[in-house]
Structure 1
Amino acid sequence: MKLWLLLGLFVFSTQFLLAQGVDKEKLLEYYESQRYAEAAQYLQSIYPEDTKDIKALTQMAYCNMMSGRFPEAEKNYLKVNAIEPHNIPVLFSLAHINSRRGNTAKAKAYLSEIIQLDSLNFSAYKQLAGFSDTPGARLQYLKKANILNSTDPDIAYDLSMAYRETKQYEKAYDVLETAIGADEDNFTLQQAQLPVANQLGKYKEVVETGEKLLKKNTDVNVINEMGQAYFYLKEYQKCITLFKTLEDLGVQNEGTLYFMALSYRELKEYDYAAIYAKKTIDEGISDHTALYYTALGGIYEAKNRFTDAQEAYKRGLTFDNSNTINYRLGLLYDFNLKQTKNAVTYYHLYLKNKPDPEKEKEQISYAKARIISLTGQKQAGMK
């Protein structure tokens, strides 16, 4: 938004003196009180609809844009652009308006035009990076913007993230190092550098930087990176102490518990190592894991890969004794694998787990009917 405000102030300062009929004091009052909609209406009341006065059109466009009347603002700027093509401030304004209205294709087109006119325009590259549809295009725009302004914190952060995603850790580190050099108190940039430094084996640096950052603000991500660095520095007790603080706060994760298990193992405290190994396993299991295996089993069934479906369903049961899986296994054994005994077993398991009598009325009746059919029993109650 700062860019558009600066452009507006520039327009205001250089184009304020419009036609002789404009009440300059009245217009100035509108600006100072940020009553841009009233300023736009006032200017439109003075100038005819078909005016070709560029200063007047630009001023009306700016007022409409600042008041959120984007269709009117775009119409005014397009008139200016038709009269005076290749006006970079006007193209930026048109890009902004289309961006705010969700028309990214048009916004990108205007920004691309700016680059054609000025290949060194940092702001255009920065905004194009945000509009990029593919990681490759985004990376190229970010690299160009970073070359033009290597100390811009937003570009440095985004470019470092792009490099991290492609595992170009050295480049990510260097980009952040340059930006941090220009702003040594930038917590965000230093925090972003910690995982990259860990990847590069700069463990002592991670600890030193992390200690400084924790004095300013207790941050979970910083603790996480420091804990890993301590582990690789073989300072296992410090690793455990740090990660224990996360566990006490209830913000532990699979990774932190894993490093604690390994640290206890290295310290030969095997009982604790076993406890945290089990905690790691529990943390790594999602509440939805059984559901995922149910979906996988269904996919295999649809592809007639019945043995794979069977394995997927049974794997799901190791995470949760799901009624849905028991029922589907009953059907699978019944109709696809032709294993009557197993089908009956899983139909019984389904009924034994007391499915909802209202929501699963049809499945309950069907399971009972199939048990009778397959076993010759007269009744198949809940067992």
Structure 2
Amino acid sequence: MKIWISLSIILLGLINISAQGVKIDTEKLLGFYETQRYADAAQYLQSIYPDNTQDLKALTQIAYCNMMAGKLSEAEKSYLKVYAIQPDNLPVLFSLTSINSRRGNASQAKSYLQRIIELDSLNFSAYKQMAAYEDTPDSKLKYLKKANTLNPTDPDVAYDLSMVYRELKQYQQAYDILKTAIAADTENFTLQQAQLPLSNQLGKYQEVIETGEKLLKNRADANVMNDLGQAYFYVKDYQKCIDLYKALEVLGIQNEGTLYYMTLSYRELKDYNNAAVYAQKTIDEAISEHTPIYYAALASIYEAKNQYNDAATTYKRGLTFANNNMIYYRLGLLYDLHLKQAKNAVTYYQMYLKNKPDLKKEKEQIEYAKSRIAALTGIK
């Protein structure tokens, strides 16, 4: 039905063009539209009108056909001709916005949207689109708030605005925005899911449980299970919390938070053996395999600043997370060359060698460590 309505509008425009003395084969053109051969339609219209035509309806339709055909550069040329004649034409401004957005020209797209807002300060779509081009929460907030004021039930704006408020830790505002949109669309599961972590933050645990259980019946979702598990913990239904997070663990999508709540739940149930197991799992999950490397990087900075004791302390801190050949070797060098502590230097050189460094990739370091051990101990 919508296609036929659009075609009828186009045909009415063509009839008006024909009335101005231009002969158009409407049946042929209609065939192009019906089969979505927009490039052919644009080419046909361009064959009828001269390049310098000032006919707004013709230019608009040529631009539209080129845009639908993906010929964005050609479409922009025609729309710009219309814009030069009618700089307050909102549909043309929106089309130019769309073209520049699709071509990745964000600054130009924003300038057209700003022009739309100048012409129509209550244009919901313009504010909604402007928000997408902003980089910081505060700048996004400005446009999303205005769009939400104009249409508080639009689900996309409500979702985006709530996410900004959440990022700014303004949980009540985020919750209220979603509540209004959900009231207008009670089956919008995306909005309901977005509201769950906010409800937890605000202590609305029973609400989380009711909504979360309903959402899980629709689709098993890890984020919903995560939020629901927290709510069960806070209402002291520890076994349900464990059951949900166990399911996530089986799927291999546990995280530091879910393991921590399992630890606390087992503790509250006085199952201290499992509590201890999950406490260790929580610790292991919280430690990145890259943590020793991060400490090594920091220690190297201390070395560069000649803060050798701080460097040694930091290297050792990295070793508390995992053995690391690079750190053992760097400590050997640090105690050997800078702190002049031969005994400690030998200890770390030896630890480096015992930790089985790669014989090919670390050949030079291995030979150097062995030579320094021999030189510092007098043992060849």
Task: Sort the TM-score into its range (normalised by shorter chain).
Answer: over 0.9
Separation of aligned partners in 2, 1:143 and 1:32: 40
CA 1:360/1:33 → structure 2, altered by over 3 Å: closer, same or farther?
A: same
Separation of aligned partners in 2, 1:212 and 1:274: 33
**Of residues 123, 144, 156 in structure 2, which corresponds to 1:154?**
156
Please list the CA deviations of residues 17-48 of structure 1 after superposition, one character each: whole Å capped at 9, or x if unmatched.
Answer: 33432211111111111111111111111111
Q: Kindly state the Cα deviation for residue 6 of structure 1 after the two structures are TM-superposed.
A: 12
Alignment of 1:300-379 (within 5 A): 300-378=302-380
Alignment of 1:112-151 (within 5 A): 112-151=114-153
Q: Which moved more, 1:15-24 or 1:81-90?
A: 15-24
Q: Which moved more, 1:121-130 or 1:259-268?
A: 259-268
What are the ranges of 5 or more consecutive residues in structure 2 without an aligned counterpart?
none
Q: Secondary structure at the match of 1:16?
A: helix
Matched, 1:101 2:103: yes
Corresponding position of 1:381: none
Corresponding position of 1:205: 207
- The answer on whether the counterparts of 1:290 and 1:316 sit within 8 Å (CA) in structure 2 is yes
Separation of aligned partners in 2, 1:140 and 1:303: 45
What are the ranges of 5 or more consecutive residues in structure 1 without an aligned counterpart?
379-383
Count of matched residue positions in the alignment of Structure 1 and Structure 2:
374
Corresponding position of 1:295: 297
Which amino acid is 1:70 matched to? L
CA 1:8/1:348 → structure 2, altered by over 3 Å: closer, same or farther?
A: farther
Separation of aligned partners in 2, 1:124 and 1:297: 51
- The answer on whether the counterparts of 2:14 and 2:24 sit within 8 Å (CA) in structure 1 is no
Separation of aligned partners in 2, 1:32 and 1:281: 63
Separation of aligned partners in 1, 2:131 and 2:12: 31
Separation of aligned partners in 2, 1:45 and 1:23: 12
Which amino acid is 1:209 matched to? T
Separation of aligned partners in 1, 2:4 and 2:148: 22
CA 1:9/1:195 → structure 2, altered by over 3 Å: closer, same or farther?
A: farther
Give the structure-2-normalised TM-score. Answer: 0.94
Separation of aligned partners in 2, 1:272 and 1:348: 39
Alignment of 1:232-251 (within 5 A): 232-251=234-253
Q: Kindly state the Cα deviation for residue 354 of structure 1 after the two structures are TM-superposed.
A: 2.5
Q: Kindly state the Cα deviation for residue 11 of structure 1 after the two structures are TM-superposed.
A: 6.9
Q: Which moved more, 1:238-247 or 1:252-261?
A: 238-247
- The answer on whether the counterparts of 2:32 and 2:38 sit within 8 Å (CA) in structure 1 is yes
**Of residues 238, 243, 259 in structure 2, which corresponds to 1:257?**
259
Q: Kindly state the Cα deviation for residue 10 of structure 1 after the two structures are TM-superposed.
A: 9.2
Matched, 1:177 2:175: no
Corresponding position of 1:283: 285
Q: Kindly state the Cα deviation for residue 337 of structure 1 after the two structures are TM-superposed.
A: 2.1
Alignment of 1:2-81 (within 5 A): 12=10, 15-17=13-15, 18-19=17-18, 20-81=22-83
Corresponding position of 2:86: 84
Separation of aligned partners in 1, 2:176 and 2:127: 20
CA 1:239/1:52 → structure 2, altered by over 3 Å: closer, same or farther?
A: same
Q: Which moved more, 1:241-250 or 1:369-378?
A: 369-378
**Of residues 153, 164, 167 in structure 2, which corresponds to 1:165?**
167
Q: Percent identity?
A: 68
Give the structure-1-normalised TM-score. Answer: 0.93
CA 1:270/1:31 → structure 2, altered by over 3 Å: closer, same or farther?
A: same
Q: Secondary structure at the match of 2:224?
A: helix
Q: Which moved more, 1:190-199 or 1:302-311?
A: 302-311
Please list the CA deviations of residues 155-178 of structure 1 after superposition, one character each: whole Å capped at 9, or x if unmatched.
Answer: 111111100011111111111011
Please list the CA deviations of residues 214-265 of structure 1 after superposition, one character each: whole Å capped at 9, or x if unmatched.
Answer: 1111111111111111111122222222222222222211111111111111
Alignment of 1:213-228 (within 5 A): 213-228=215-230
Separation of aligned partners in 2, 1:189 and 1:104: 28
- The answer on whether the counterparts of 2:127 and 2:144 sit within 8 Å (CA) in structure 1 is yes
Q: Kindly state the Cα deviation for residue 7 of structure 1 after the two structures are TM-superposed.
A: 12
RMSD: 1.9
Q: Which moved more, 1:245-254 or 1:38-47?
A: 245-254
Q: Secondary structure at the match of 1:268?
A: coil
Which amino acid is 1:33 matched to? T
